[in-house]
Structure 1
Amino acid sequence: MKINDAVFGELEYDYVWSKDITIEFFGKEVNIALMVDGEEDGEFSEKQYASYNTLKENWGDIQQNILTPILDYYKEKRSELGYDVSYDVNYPLIETNDKLLENIKLVGIYVPSARRFEARYIGLTFDCTWDEENGVGIRLINEEVARVGYQDVAL
C-alpha cells in the first residue's frame, strides 16, 4: 500500500511506512531509508510531523552535535572490549571526528509514533566498520542526543 503524505511524501507500507531519500551528511549526498512508525491507515500525528520538520530545519546543527557522542560511545566500547590496550583490526584507534566519519555511514532516519514519547523524537541509524551486525543508533529527543548504542536504540 502506498500513500502520498503532505510532509513525508510518498511512503510505502510494510509494517512501517518507509521510502528511500537522499540527504546531505557532512557535505556528501547519501541515500538512506526514512521510516515512519504508524498504522496501515497512514494517519500520522502532529508530533511526528513536528519531529521530522524540526529535524530538517536543524539538520546542520544536529550533524555537528552527534559526532562527539558517537566517538565517546566508540571509545567506551573499545575500552570495554580491551582493545584500548590490545590491538584489534576491527577497533582501530579513532580520536577525531574526521576519522570517525571514515568509519560510519548514515543509513536511516526513524520517526516513531507519538504515543511512545511526549517530546519530539527522532532515531538515526548508522552502519559502522567496527560492528557490522549491530551498527550504531542515536536517539534524539528535542533535537538533543539522549542515547547512543546499537541501532535498536533509535527504533
Structure 2
Amino acid sequence: MSTNGRDAPNMLRWLGKMDKYARSNENPPYVSDYYKGECCLECEAEQEALKFLRKSYEANEEHLFTRSPKVAEFFNAHLAEPKIFPKFEDEEYEDFSFPLRLEYFGKALEQEDEFCCTFLDEDSEETDESSRMRSNAIEFLKQNQEEILTGILAEILKNYPKWQKIYDYPSETKSDFMPGISTPQELSELLELQNIYILDGAKIGFEFSCSWDMEHGLGVMTRKGKVINIGEAEVAFMAI
C-alpha cells in the first residue's frame, strides 16, 4: 500500500468511506479534516491538503497548530496573516531519523528495502544519541530480519479475524479495507511499514499504516525479536 501523489485520489476515496464506518464518530469533524489534510500533504496533493486543513482550521484554530510542525508550516504559509502558536515559538523541529536497509522486509512487504528508523529514549522521545544496546538492536534486526518479520506477520494474521469483527465493514466495502485473507503474504497488500523505532532494552517497534484504519494505524512492539504488544500505531513507540 503506497502513498504518493498518484495515489491521492484513491486515498481520499478510502478516507471518505471510512467517515461512514468503524470509528469515525469518535472524533469531531475538524480532527478528521486535519488528518485528511495531513495525508494529502504526505501524498504531495497540496491543493487537496489545503482544502481540508482550512476546514479544520475554521472549526478549531488551535488544533492545527498543535500537531505536526510540517503541516503547521505549510498551512501558515497560506494564511493572509501568518501566525505561530506558542508551542512552536523558538522551537526547531529536529528530525533524528536515519535510513535502515532491510532487504527481506522490502521483499516480503513489497516495498523499497530502505526504511525510516529512529532512536527513542526512555520517555519515548526521539534522540540522536546512540548506545551500545541500540546499536546491538539494529545489528540483531539485520541478522534476524526474516524471523522477526515472520513473527510480526503471524501475530497480525492471528489478530486479523478479531479486528474484522470489531471494525465490521459492510460487504460492499469489506474487500477494500479488510478482505478475507489466510496467509501472511496477503498482508503486503494491506500494510505499509512506515517507521522503525529502536529503544533500549532490546526493544524494537514497528509502525505500519493499514487499509482498515488509516487514522490510527498499526503498531507492533518486539523484544529480542518476539512480539510483546500489538495495537494502534502508538504501540510501536511507547517505551512502557
**TM bucket, shorter chain:** 0.7 to 0.9
Structure 1 residue 144 displacement after superposition: 0.4
Partner of 2:97, secondary structure, is strand
Q: Look up the match of 1:123.
A: 205
Separation in structure 1 between the aligned mates of residue 101 and residue 126 of structure 2, nearest angstrom: 25
1:67/1:40 Cα in 2 relative to 1: closer, same or farther (>3 Å)?
closer
Separation in structure 1 between the aligned mates of residue 159 and residue 137 of structure 2, nearest angstrom: 24
TM-score scaled by length of structure 2: 0.50
Q: Does 1:30 align with 2:113?
A: yes
Partner of 1:125, secondary structure, is strand
Separation in structure 1 between the aligned mates of residue 227 and residue 131 of structure 2, nearest angstrom: 22
Q: Does 1:17 align with 2:96?
A: yes
Structure 2 contact 117–196 (Cα < 8 Å) conserved: yes
TM-score scaled by length of structure 1: 0.74
Which has the higher Rg, Structure 1 or Structure 2? 2
Structure 2 contact 106–114 (Cα < 8 Å) conserved: no
Q: Look up the match of 1:4.
A: none
Alignment coverage as a number of residue pairs:
136
Q: Does 1:148 align with 2:235?
A: no
Separation in structure 2 between the aligned mates of residue 17 and residue 57 of structure 1, nearest angstrom: 23
Consecutive unaligned residues in structure 2, runs of 5 or more? 1-91
Structure 1 residue 41 displacement after superposition: 8.0
Query: Structure 1, residues 4-58: CA drift from partner, whole Å, max 9, x if none?
Result: xxxxxxxxx9456212344322524334211112589843222111211111111
Q: Does 1:137 align with 2:219?
A: yes
Structure 1 contact 73–148 (Cα < 8 Å) conserved: no
Structure 2 contact 221–229 (Cα < 8 Å) conserved: yes
Q: Look up the match of 1:67.
A: 153
Consecutive unaligned residues in structure 1, runs of 5 or more? 1-12
1:50/1:99 Cα in 2 relative to 1: closer, same or farther (>3 Å)?
same
1:64/1:80 Cα in 2 relative to 1: closer, same or farther (>3 Å)?
same
1:56/1:40 Cα in 2 relative to 1: closer, same or farther (>3 Å)?
closer
Separation in structure 2 between the aligned mates of residue 40 and residue 127 of structure 1, nearest angstrom: 20
- Which amino acid in the other structure matches residue 19 of structure 1? F
Aligned-pair RMSD on alpha carbons? 2.5
Structure 1 contact 17–37 (Cα < 8 Å) conserved: no
Structure 1 contact 33–109 (Cα < 8 Å) conserved: yes
